[in-house]
Structure 1
């Protein structure tokens, strides 16, 4: 049915649930797994005039975020391989999370995306957006959303 599954992770408890489900599904289908973490760019422009931060400091923070992201996808890869699933981890750097998810799914020829929805509603959803909703709206492949 599915041959390559992309699972997103941000390190939250909810994304850990999605990872666990994706590993189980990949194991039962004998599918490969691609674990993805998207690292945002440091929002320097938000702080203009209020807080000064140097470019090297922003780069250092982004590097820390990328290292944390790599640790997250490495942990998914190890858990998947322990379950007998061939897996790889990918860290992308972008402020466009949904676009990065869809791009990674296409690049790695995934035929299913598994991701968590944090279930934000109302004003929080408007202000923070919904990456899950964007993936559902703009993608053309199946998406399994877990809560």
Structure 2
């Protein structure tokens, strides 16, 4: 049924559950597994020329973190005998990067974690999972 499954990762513990679910679904359906880690862009400030961290140092650190997250997912997949394609991308909004990547890669299922924020925390931080659900026309499995 599913041929290409995307599991975004932010390296959190809850994401581990989504990764496990995506791996099992990919194995069950004989699907290809893809993973994506979204990097924050450098917070350029028009107010000050002095930055606490040089831009390249920040970008390098973001790339290392994102690459490690993707490698961890691919290693978990490999441990289950499954190949995995890992990607990293820089974006202001993770949900937009996930939606764009799913479309670009012709994904037919997104498996992602929800941190389960409620009330004021959800209002302030929003929900990446909710935004993905709102902006794609393909199945999304939310793992809590």
On whether the aligned pair clears a TM of 0.5, the verdict is yes
Q: Pairwise CA RMSD of aligned residues?
A: 1.8
TM-score, with length taken from structure 1: 0.90
Report how far residue 67 of structure 1 moved: 1.0
Which structure 2 residues correspond to residues 1-147 of structure 1 after superposition, within 5 A?
1-45=1-45, 48=47, 52-53=50-51, 57-147=54-144
Cα distance, 1:15 vs structure 2 = 0.3
TM-score by length of 2: 0.92
Query: Are 1:6 and 1:110, in contact at CA under 8 Å, matched by a contact in 2?
Result: yes
Q: Tell whether the 8 Å contact from 1:30 to 1:85 is kept in structure 2 after alignment.
A: no
Aligned residues: 144
Gaps of 5+ in 1: none
Q: Provide the rounded CA distance (Å) in 2 between the counterparts of 1:40 and 1:91.
A: 11
Give the secondary-structure state (helix, strand or coil) at the position aligned to 1:85. coil
CA distance in 2: counterparts of 1:44 and 1:121, whole angstroms? 31
Alignment check: 8 A CA contact 1:31 1:85 kept? no
